[in-house]
Amino acid sequence: QVQLQESGPGLVKPSGTVSLTCAVSGGSISSSNWWSWVRQPPGKGLEWIGKISHSGSTTYNPSLKSRITMSLDKSKNQISLKLNSVTAADTALYFCAREVSLIVVVDATQGESSYLDVWGQGTTVTVSS
Amino acid sequence: DIQMTQSPSSLSASVGDRVTITCRASQSISTYLNWYQQTPGKAPKLLIYDASTLYIGVPSRFSGSRSGTVFTLSISNLQPEDFATYYCQQSSSAPYTFGQGTMLEIK
């Protein structure tokens, strides 16, 4: 079964750039899935950061779009997230997750439903000088 | 962005009770609503997707329903391992948004 493992530097200085990776095992990132990043500040709720498809297409949260870059490394079977110009507000537990999509028909209308079914254990990023 | 308003923010119940958590979307999201369970320091776990479909391996005491833009997660016969925080999430349009969470505590 697919497993995800995030890794990162832990501590980053304000205004710096944090680079996180998500290693995928038990499956290929080239499969027909999207891969999402979600973060959770200490004691707070979940925030969706964005996603990247198996072909490298990306969709970012507009609130972070100017500061983030997601990429794939198919040779290493991993996904990466870069977040620049970090501040204390970026301190959080960062998760990667697999997004699965399925076609559904609701009220005679066909659409696509998706969900995050496999998650990594998360990696903590602390922004501090 | 689609706003997801979850209520209550916290809830106390006893083992064996039945509880209901509600999530309201700020606009129509069809059935594109998922429910997750999270314990402290751990990753969220998918419980229900597409408003009412139980994910593989999730006990049948969990159920989800939809009425327009209002979604409900129900848990019957609460077990000790069910005391956690629950989040709804819409996948109708990006950015996907989560409710603020409901912390279910033991009474």
CA–CA dist B76, A90 (Å, integer): 37
CB A79 within 8 A of CB A64: no
Helices (H), chain B: none
How does residue A105 score in pLDDT terms, banded at 50, 70 and 90?
confident
> With an 8 Å Cβ cutoff, are B97 and A48 in contact?
yes
Instruction: Find the residue in B nearest to A107 (Cα).
Output: B30
Per-chain mean pLDDT for chain A: 95
Residue among A62, A81, A86 at smallest CA distance from A71: A81
Nearest chain B Cα distance for residue A25, angstroms: 17
Place of tokens 């603020």: B100
Burial (Cβ within 10 Å: 0-12, 13-18, ≥19) of residue B5: middle
pLDDT value at B78 more than 90: yes
CA–CA dist A30, A99 (Å, integer): 13
Per-chain mean pLDDT for chain B: 97
Q: What is the pLDDT of residues B34-44, one digit of tens each?
A: 999 999 999 99
Measure CB to CB from residue B34 to each of A95, A115, A119 and give the nearest one.
A115
As beta bridge partners, residue A124 has A93
CA B50 vs CA B12, B91, B102: distances in Å:
27, 9, 19
CA–CA dist A113, B20 (Å, integer): 23
> With an 8 Å Cβ cutoff, are A115 and B94 in contact?
no
Nearest chain B Cα distance for residue A57, angstroms: 14
CB B94 within 8 A of CB A59: yes
Place of tokens 């970026």: A90
pLDDT value at A32 more than 80: no
Tell me the residue length of chain B. Answer: 107
Q: What is the mean pLDDT of residues B73-83?
A: 97
Q: What is the pLDDT of residue A33?
A: 82
As beta bridge partners, residue A72 has A79
CA–CA dist A57, A14 (Å, integer): 29
How does residue A108 score in pLDDT terms, banded at 50, 70 and 90?
confident
Rounded to 5 degrees, what angle do the CA atoms B32, A52, A107 make? 20
Six-digit token pair at B25? 């979307």
How does residue A111 score in pLDDT terms, banded at 50, 70 and 90?
confident
The helix/strand/coil state of A89 is helix
Q: What is the mean pLDDT of residues A77-81?
A: 97
CB B44 within 8 A of CB B87: yes
Six-digit token pair at A62? 């507009």
Phi/psi at A121 (5° precision): -85, -10
How does residue A106 score in pLDDT terms, banded at 50, 70 and 90?
confident
CA–CA dist A75, A55 (Å, integer): 14
Q: What is the mean pLDDT of residues A92-120?
A: 91
pLDDT value at A11 more than 90: yes
